[in-house]
Structures are given as structure tokens and as C-alpha cells.
Structure 1
Amino acid sequence: MNRNTGILIIAVIVIVIIGALAAFMMPSAETATASQTLMVINNNAPDHWAKSVVVMENVTKKDGSITNVYVESWKEPSTGQSVVNLTKELGYDNEALPAGTTFRMKMWSEPYSANSTGEVNMNLSLNGGDENHIDNETTKFDIIASHVLYQLPADITQGKTEITLDAAKGAAFLEGMNTIYVEVIVTVNADGSVTITPVTQPVLCELIAGIS
């Protein structure tokens, strides 16, 4: 009896030690990511895909250098979303961009469909901030405009977002865009939200020559 009790006690101790080690070695949740600064583009239209090319101009990296951020994204109908993690792209680790950070954001967008033709109403929304603010209706900027449909490329079967700081690759993103154009000023606020100030409301235009 005593021997069995001793074995049981030893077994319990071993289990406790193993459990403690497992808990210690388990990777912790990245709670700090909640503070990262994001820019989000949503396609709210139910009848077409949306392609967008974005240039965020003269954004300050954590090392103090100035860069442009170039984005090409394809977004599915109704639920398609493109997320740009500026914290990651600009080297801020898990920190939000500093309060007062301001940059100009230019965006060109086109509608696409695999089996439809004609003209449709594009319905995009632009928002930003940390995870607690990217769904905030009060900071959202809506982009609604009519445009003729283009044929969806066969290799586009799911949403995707490509981001680069390379100007040559960014210029390649912009090639051939004949599209709906908008321009806004984005300012990062101390509470993690952003303020989006329209400069150019949605207009149909040829690709604007020259990007700084």
C-alpha cells in the first residue's frame, strides 16, 4: 500500500512538471499586434471583383528614411479585403506609427468579372488604424463610381495583395490602369485611429502621369 502510494505521488509530480514545462515552452500570443497600424480596402460590390493599385507617398520609416509604399490588390465580390500592415512594412515591429504621421495616399481601381460585361457601380471603402479602429464607420471613406467591366484574368481565382517599397515594381503595378482615381491624406492619431481627408473624390481618368 505504501509502495503504491509512493508511486502515485511520483507520477503526479512528473505530470505536474511536464505540464509546467509545456506551458513554459508554448509560444505566447502576439497581443502587441493589436497596436499595429493598418490600412484596409474593402470591396462591397456583390457583382464584380475590384483591382486596386495604391501609392502611399513619403511615409517615414522607423529608421527615419522616407519611402513610398506600393500596393496591388485583387478583392473578391462582397467580402474581398486588402490589408496593408504599415507597421511591418515600415520597420516599426509591433508598434503603431507615431501619432501625427501624415502621408498622401493615391488609389486607382477597376472592376472585373469572369462572365459579365457592361457598366457596374464600384463600391469600395477605405479605412485604417489599429485593429480596434479599422471597422469604425466614422472614419471610413467610401469610393462609389461607375465604370465599365474588364475581363477577369484566368489566373485570378482568389483575393491577393502584393506590397513593395521598390519604385520600379510599383511602376509596374500602375501600367495600363485606366480607372477610377481617388486621393486622400491619412493622419495617424494618438488613440490608434486614422483621419482620412479627401483630396480628390472618385473620378474617371487616364493614369495620372508621374508619381512622386
Structure 2
Amino acid sequence: MKLRSHRLVAAFIFLYSFKVWSAIDVVPKVLELTGDSDRIAIINNGEKTEFINIKLKKITNPGIDYSFENYIDIKEEDDPKIYYSPFRIALSPKQKKYLTVKRVKDVLFEEVYRIDIMPSLLPISNGNDSSVIINIGFSSIIRNYPKVIRKEFEFNCGNTQDVVINKGNAHITARYISGDLNGEAINIYPGQKKSFPHKDVVVENQACRL
């Protein structure tokens, strides 16, 4: 899975016309939680006050394509390891506020969360026609790391495929150096095993071993 933020789209649909805007920005796009707490800045770059809903969910199958991820809402998790506040904010034009993420329990293995920053939607008039408003928010990543990070893996060559097994407690990165996906990178999480076409990737900048 690439480390990138994914924009989320929501819409009120009425008739024929629509309007689109993206006033909200989030920094950083990937938060690496290595201490007890950290912050994410939410910025309103627009000209109108924005009312923001914030939702945090744990990814239960990290390392796959975004569209196939499974989640647990942090509010529904039996034993949450992190907490965030506030759940909602109002941002005046050009205003910046901070979302605080706190670790409440240590983890043995890296956990990955997706935090959705979603502006509220309100319909507006467009002459005599009704409008569709498509308001764009952000979905960013939070990585909750163990206090001591240990990267350990096996990466063995095969005749047609090379196999990597992550035996550490944090993700490792496989980077394509040839083939159709040259230049792409994916993360492999603790306990995961993945296969790649022979000599297509390096893992943590290391080639496979015979």
C-alpha cells in the first residue's frame, strides 16, 4: 500500500447541477506515533466556516489496496490503544486547529489507523435549479508503533518468485526495481508473508538471498 492520503467524496444529490470544493487540508498526511501523544493540524484554506466531523478507525488488514481495507471504529473497539480529541470542530476561514492523538496502551506490534476528516455538507441554490454539493475531505494514516521497533525479516529467492516474511514488530517496505510496477512500493506488516516475481523487488533495500 502506498503511503498517501486518500480523498473521500460525499454528496447530497438533488437534480442536475453540482459544485465541488476542497477547502480543508491536513498536516501531516501520515502521523507516526512513537511517543505518548502527537497532533494533526486541520486547516481551512477556504472563505467559509467549515464544520468538521472526525472519525478514527483501525485497519484490521493493512498492506492491501485501500478499496479492500477492513476497519473497526475506534469507539467500538473493546481494548483501544489510542484515543483522539476532539470529535468535531468548527474552522473559520484560514483558521487552523489541532487534533490530539494519545496513546493509552502500549502495543507489541505496529497498528495502523485511518482518520477521516470530513466537512459537513449543506445544499446551496444554483439559480432555479437544485444543486449537488460534493465536499471533499481527507483520510490520513496514523501508525502506532511499539516503544522499541524491531525490523526482522526473511527474504528468500525462488526460481520464479521471491518470498518475504516479516518477523519483526513494525512494517517493512518492498520496492519494485523492475517489471510493470517499477518504482512502486508496498508495506509488509508483522506476521505477513508475500511473494513477488523473481528479482522484481528489494526489501528494505536488500535483495533476496539464495
TM-score range, shorter chain: under 0.3
Q: Which has the higher helix share?
A: 1
Kindly name which structure, 1 or 2, has the bigger radius of gyration based on alpha carbons. Answer: 1
TM-score (norm 2): 0.24
